[in-house]
Structure 1
Amino acid sequence: MNASKTLRNGLFLVAGLWAGQVLAWGQQGTALVGELAQRQLTPEAKAEAGRLLGLIKQNDFSVVANWAGNLDQNPQTKALWEKTKDERLVIYKADDCAYQPPRDCPNGVCTVAAIERNRAALADPKAPNQARLMALLFLIHHAADASSPLNNSFKDDKGGYDFAVKAGGKTYSLRQVWDDFLLGQAKLDVKAYADKLEKSLPAVDSKAPVQWSQQACLIVRDGAIYPAKAAASRKLPTKRALGDDDDGGVDYAAKNQEYNRTGKDYSRGDKLVETGEKKSSAGGVDSAYMSRFIPVAEGQVGLASVRLAQLLNQALVAGRPAP
């Protein structure tokens, strides 16, 4: 099977699959980054992106944005997943948030190095179309990774997965709060949410992925995103419980596809905001926490999009094959 068909089959499988992996912002947030970035492309870059995506019969960044994070869902791409799965994080070895490649990106295995490699491939006019297409797909995903606080952290909790919090009387991980709840409160599908965020996109702050990662790490260090320490005896939920909700027993983890596509089903995020729920114990997430950090999450998604657009506007045009 040729590379184009393998890529296309993989995208057909994961375009509508919103399963939880090591993803920045969850599936919806990563799709938002792609959607917003595509809207900011120059005509020349947009045309080249369209040409490359046409090789796999796609045209929407929001559809392909999560391809790199779902490679393990397709037997044909599992080997690529094993090769790239650790490129979604920068695990800082100290809370200085000062990126040091030998310390924080050993052997070039981290998001910052992955972005630089894929940027070079996309900007290479001598690279085959398939190599440039794959670089584009990885860059969309990694720009979201590099701007996600819990993907750029010095904490020893597996990116928030091992930090338990209470929300709505249930136990969740801090990771799920940031992946699902904060953006889930908007009750909007990707296109409608992008319409909202597009009105107030931030100015691009840097061309350097290392600075993107450091900025995200500083949010972990200085932004008070961690609630009070959860009780040591608190048991983290099972995979099933992570999506469980008291309202009719709806499994929101399984319903993420419908939620992101139509906005008809929601995570706990909207309920925490609407009910004004108060913390009942240390380690809790309440409406005040949600109200404080929803703008932070939306701001980081917007930043990721303008950073990605700037990178792609240069690399897509530079790598165009000669006429």
Structure 2
Amino acid sequence: MKLKFVLLFCFSLFLIQPTQAFIIPSPAWGSTGHRTVGKIADTYLKGSTKRAIKKLLNRHTLAFVSTYGDEIKSDDRYRKFSSWHYVNMEANQSYEESEKALQGDAVTGAEYCVKVLKDKNASDDDKAFYLKLLIHIIGDIHQPMHAGLAEDKGGNDIKVKWMGKDTNLHRVWDSDMLNGFDMSYTELAINADALSKEQIKLIETGTITDWVNETHTLANAIYKDVKTGDNLGYEYAYRNLSIARSQIQKGGIRLAKLLNDIF
């Protein structure tokens, strides 16, 4: 009887192990944030752009594929793209002045995606792959801690609490604060701030590098507002949630601008 129990227990562990091995890492902005970027971008796409994207993505929406860049992290074949999710700089540096990662970063990664999408000789499969990566990366570069400091891994090493529970500054901006707001990505997209044509044009200006520098400046201000051990919660969300929502909206508008230019 005991032998049967031991065998049954070991068999149960065997069944559990493969499932644990494929746990997907928490994505930047969380799934909700990335999907909101995609949903907002969709509202700014031209008809011709929508048709081209619909064909490449097998009718899937920008929101649906927006988390693809994080989903493939669990597959060793795509390990080389890991550094494309962020840019690390010193506090007083611009991207142009910073030391570049040999394996690439969010700027070089996004630029490569654009290059493939503009290449008339690239296959539809390649274009679909790099389109999904581009959608994700543009979301990433608008999350302040993805343009943070190398020494603390973009806020990952700054241990804080969120509503009394252990977390870190990066995760607070990735998901804790946004998830605490408890809105779906469609609700967040519908409730994006009303902007004038002039405001939208201003957001659309600049290059990918310019957008990263802007996010890095924001990251510097966020660092100054938090120290290790802080218990963050309602007051922090009250002061910063609107910033996160604004960054997501900018990401959506700029993603649409890029895609309209490409297609």
1:138 counterpart SS class: helix
The corresponding residue for 2:241 is 294
Q: Helix, strand or coil for the counterpart of 1:97? A: coil
Indicate if the aligned counterparts of 1:65 and 1:137 stay in contact, CA closer than 8 A. yes
Which residue matches 1:206?
A: 205
Q: Secondary structure at the match of 1:162?
A: coil
Structure 2: distance between partners of 1:18 and 1:78: 13
Q: Following TM superposition, by how much is the alpha carbon of 1:298 offset from its aligned partner in structure 2, in angstroms? A: 0.4
Task: State the partner residue of 2:158.
Answer: 163
Q: CA deviation at 1:310?
A: 0.2
Once residues 180 and 194 of structure 2 are traced to their aligned partners in structure 1, the CA distance between those partners, rounded to angstroms, is 18
Other-structure match for 1:79: 77
Q: Do the aligned partners of residues 144 and 26 (structure 1) sit closer, same or farther apart at CA in structure 2, a change above 3 Å counting?
A: same
After superposition, the C-alpha distances for 1:157-191 in whole angstroms (9 at most, x for unaligned) are: 22222111123332221122111222223322111
Report which of the two has the higher share of helix. Answer: 2
Q: Do the aligned residues in 2 keep the contact of 1:32 with 1:194 (CA within 8 Å)?
A: yes
Q: Does 1:95 align with 2:42?
A: no
1:205-254 Cα offsets, whole Å, 9 max, x none, are: 43411111111111121345642332xxxxxxxxxxxxxxxxxxxxxxxx
| Larger CA Rg, structure 1 vs 2 | 2
Taking a change above 3 Å as real, the CA distance of residues 206 and 225 of structure 1, as seen in their structure-2 partners, is farther
Flag structure 2 segments of 5+ consecutive residues without an equivalent: 1-21
Q: Match of 1:120? A: 115
Runs of 4+ aligned structure 1 residues displaced above 6 Å come to none
Contact 1:20 1:26 in 2 (8 A): no
Aligned counterpart for 2:25 among listed residues 17, 20, 23: 20
**Structure 2: how far apart are the matches of 1:218 and 1:178?**
15
CA shift, 1:65, in A, is 0.6
Give, as a single letter, the amino acid of the residue that structure 1 aligns with 2:30.
G
Where structure 1 has 5 or more consecutive residues not aligned to the other structure, the ranges are 1-16, 231-282, 318-323
178, 186, 211: which is aligned to 1:183? 178
Letter of the structure 2 residue corresponding to residue 41 of structure 1: L
With normalisation by structure 1, the TM-score equals 0.68
Check the 8 A contact 1:228/1:284 in 2, yes or no: no
- Name the SS of the counterpart of 2:160 in structure 1: strand
Q: TM-score, normalised by structure 2?
A: 0.83
